[in-house]
């Protein structure tokens, strides 16, 4: 690429800041910054909010936004963030298209031998939202990785394709419309904030989630996010992109509250760190009532440290393996808790210990043939309410609200007993 173009690009287009990100900020610059319309796009026009891609009502075309000289160091920047305003009720998917990097020269065409793409489903008819593409793969690399100069040693050719989620995601809707891109950022990693409670109370905020494998998201009402699932895949995904992180050492359980208006009968939590591990549980199919599925994440050995990326898979399994099926599911809350008690734990009774009085007003005593070391108290949702080191076999619960609680009594010789108590 030409040296004078590089100087112009670095001066006016790409900004490298303390967070090591390279940015095309169309809203601030009020300039297309080298991006041009392609495919079925009618226009790529600068408006107050950024770069608007518009299309007509002529079907079977794929509007694109194309850049031929992005000059991105693909060895360093593995994440693409798109901040968009989707004014369309039908465009449900963004596709990033890049040329395959190798040790040779810069490819000159997007032939099937060179082109690679990644899909991400987006929310229709929504205000400003940021979506992240993770391109950490062997083919998102500089064209000439052996050198690092201005001669074809970077990732230049990029396209953003706007599609529906039908027909393989290759066709645009028949209705005219537009989508505005405020900003495109190339990042070394996805910035994240700690969070353990996702409740979807803001209809303009998907809280970092995206759909994949046939999942399209919408938020018609506050307090839930709607998943419309096609029969495109046996393993549809509802994925946290990495905007929010979870302390996996502190939160070893997750509770998902949803309404399942579908034949899906199993929910899996997938932790992909290192190699994918999952924890699954049955759920009620075709049930119009809210249900809460509790998963013990201690069963996933790689659920440790700070986790930015994880997903739910909603599966129909008639008994001989997963099958593809259409579904409508509303997720009302995803709550990470310090520990989830299994049904077996809650129902388990140990005749070796006794509790009195029970019901309890402020405190109770535990009688046991073994030394008691610690007591953990959980509410009926499996959330830990109290932890006490027991010295005199007396446990104080005066600060707890009235209700039913589950005790886990840790005794010497690694014995653990479970009891139910009632706080008056």
Comparison of pLDDT for 60 and 297, the residue scoring more: 297
Q: What mean pLDDT is predicted for residues 318-326?
A: 87
CA distance 335 to 332: 10
CATH class of 194-337: mainly beta
The secondary structure of the chain, three-state, reads CCHHHHHHHHHHCCEECCCCCEEEEHHHHCCCCCCEEEECCCEEEEECCEEEEEECCCCCCCEEEEECCCCECCCCCCEEEEEEEECCCCCCEEEEEEECCCCCCCCCCCCCCCEEEEEEECCCCEEEEEEEEECCCCCCCCCCCCCCCCCCCCECCEEEEEECCCHHHCCCCCCCEEEEEEEEEEECCCCCEECCEECCCCCCCCCCEEEECCEEEECCCCCCEEEEECCCCCCCEEEECCCEEEECCCCCEEEEEEEECCCCCEEEEEECCCCCEEEEEECCCCEEEEEEEEEEHHHCCCCCCEECCEEEEEEECCCCCCECCCEEEEEEEEEEECCCCCHHHHHCCCCCCEEECCCECCEEEEECCCCEEEEEEEECCCCEEEEEECCCCEEECCCCCCEEEEEEEEEHHHEEEEEEEEEC
What CATH code would you report for 343-423? Answer: 2.60.40.3080
pLDDT at position 412, please? Answer: 76
The better pLDDT of the pair 33, 165 is held by 33
- Mean predicted lDDT score pLDDT of the chain: 82
| pLDDT above 60: residue 215 | yes
Cβ atoms of 339 and 248 closer than 8 Å: no
What are 8's two structure tokens?
């112009």
* Mean pLDDT, residues 385-414: 82
Q: Is the pLDDT of residue 347 over 70?
A: no
Q: What is the pLDDT of residue 265?
A: 93
291 bridge partner residues: 258
Question: pLDDT at residue 50 above 60?
Answer: yes
Looking at residues 260-270, what average pLDDT do you find? Answer: 95
Residue-level pLDDT at 380: 65
Higher pLDDT, 344 or 219: 219
Please say if the pLDDT value at position 402 is more than 80. Answer: yes
Looking at residue 15, its pLDDT comes to 38
pLDDT of residue 8: 30
Task: Please classify residue 104 by burial: count the beta carbons closer than 10 Å to its beta carbon, then call 0-12 exposed, 13-18 middle and 19+ buried.
Answer: exposed
Give mean pLDDT, residues 177-203. 92
Q: What is the pLDDT of residue 16?
A: 36
> Where along the chain do its domains lie?
3-191, 194-337, 343-423
Check for a shared fold between 194-337 and 343-423.
Answer: no
CB 93 within 8 A of CB 121: yes
- Percentage of residues in the chain having pLDDT higher than 90: 36
133 has pLDDT over 80: yes
Tens digits of residue pLDDT in 227-246 = 999 998 899 999 998 889 99
Q: How confident is the model at residue 59 (pLDDT cuts 50, 70, 90)?
A: low
- Tell me, what's the pLDDT at 157? 84
pTM of this structure: 0.59
What confidence category does residue 205 fall into, taking pLDDT thresholds of 50, 70 and 90? confident
Q: Is the pLDDT of residue 189 over 50?
A: yes
Residue 105: the pLDDT is 58
Average pLDDT over residues 190-215: 90
What is the predicted pLDDT for the residue at 250?
Answer: 92
Mean pLDDT across 264-276: 90
Q: Which is more confidently placed, 315 or 103?
A: 315
Per-residue pLDDT, 11? 33
Confidence of residue 10 (pLDDT cuts 50, 70, 90): very low
- pLDDT at residue 260 tops 70: yes
Q: What is the pLDDT of residue 5?
A: 29
Tell me: pLDDT of 148 over 80: no
When pLDDT is cut at 50, 70 and 90, the band that residue 2 belongs to is very low
291-313 mean pLDDT: 92
pLDDT number for residue 268: 94
Say yes or no to pLDDT of 141 above 50: yes
Pick 180 or 38 by higher pLDDT: 180
CATH class, range 3-191: mainly beta
Q: What is the per-residue pLDDT for 138?
A: 75
Q: Averaged over 61-73, what is the pLDDT?
A: 86
Q: What is the pLDDT of residue 68?
A: 85
């Amino acid at each position: 690429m030409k040296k004078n173009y590089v100087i112009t690009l670095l001066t006016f287009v790409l900004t490298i800041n303390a967070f090591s990100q390279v940015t095309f900020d169309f809203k601030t610059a009020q300039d297309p910054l080298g991006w041009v319309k392609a495919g079925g796009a009618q226009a790529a026009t600068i408006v107050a909010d950024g770069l608007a891609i518009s299309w007509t009502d002529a079907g079977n075309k794929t509007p694109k936004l194309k850049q031929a000289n992005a000059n991105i160091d693909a060895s360093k920047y593995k994440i693409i963030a798109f901040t968009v305003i989707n004014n369309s009720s039908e465009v449900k998917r963004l596709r990033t298209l890049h040329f395959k990097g190798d040790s040779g020269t810069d490819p000159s065409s997007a032939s099937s031998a060179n082109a690679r793409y990644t899909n991400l489903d987006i929310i229709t008819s929504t205000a400003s939202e940021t979506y992240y593409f993770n391109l950490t793969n062997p083919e998102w690399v500089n064209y000439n990785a052996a050198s690092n100069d201005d001669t074809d040693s970077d990732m230049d050719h990029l396209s953003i394709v706007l599609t529906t989620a039908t027909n393989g995601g290759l066709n645009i809707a028949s209705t005219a419309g537009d989508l505005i891109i405020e900003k495109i950022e190339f990042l070394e990693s996805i910035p994240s904030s700690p969070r353990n409670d996702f409740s979807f109370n803001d209809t303009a905020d998907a809280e970092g989630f995206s759909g994949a494998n046939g999942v399209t998201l919408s938020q018609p009402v506050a307090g839930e996010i709607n998943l419309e699932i096609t029969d495109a895949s046996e393993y549809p995904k509802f994925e946290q992109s990495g905007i929010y992180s979870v302390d996996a050492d502190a939160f070893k359980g997750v509770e998902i509250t949803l309404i399942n208006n579908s034949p899906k009968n199993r929910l899996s939590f997938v932790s992909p760190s290192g190699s994918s591990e999952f924890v699954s549980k049955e759920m009620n199919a075709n049930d119009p009532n809210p249900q809460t599925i509790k998963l013990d994440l201690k069963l996933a050995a790689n659920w440790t440290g700070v986790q930015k990326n994880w997903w739910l898979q909603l599966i129909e399994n008639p008994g001989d393996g997963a099958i593809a099926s259409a579904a409508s599911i509303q997720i009302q809350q995803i709550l990470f808790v310090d520990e989830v008690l299994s049904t077996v734990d809650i129902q388990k009774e140990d005749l070796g210990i006794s509790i009195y009085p029970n019901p309890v007003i402020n405190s109770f005593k535990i009688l046991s043939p073994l030394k008691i070391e610690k007591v953990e108290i959980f509410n009926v949702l499996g959330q830990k309410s109290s932890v006490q080191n027991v010295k005199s076999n007396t446990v104080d619960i005066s600060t707890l609200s009235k209700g039913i609680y589950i005790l886990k009594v840790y005794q010497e010789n690694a014995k653990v007993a479970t009891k139910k108590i009632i706080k008056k």
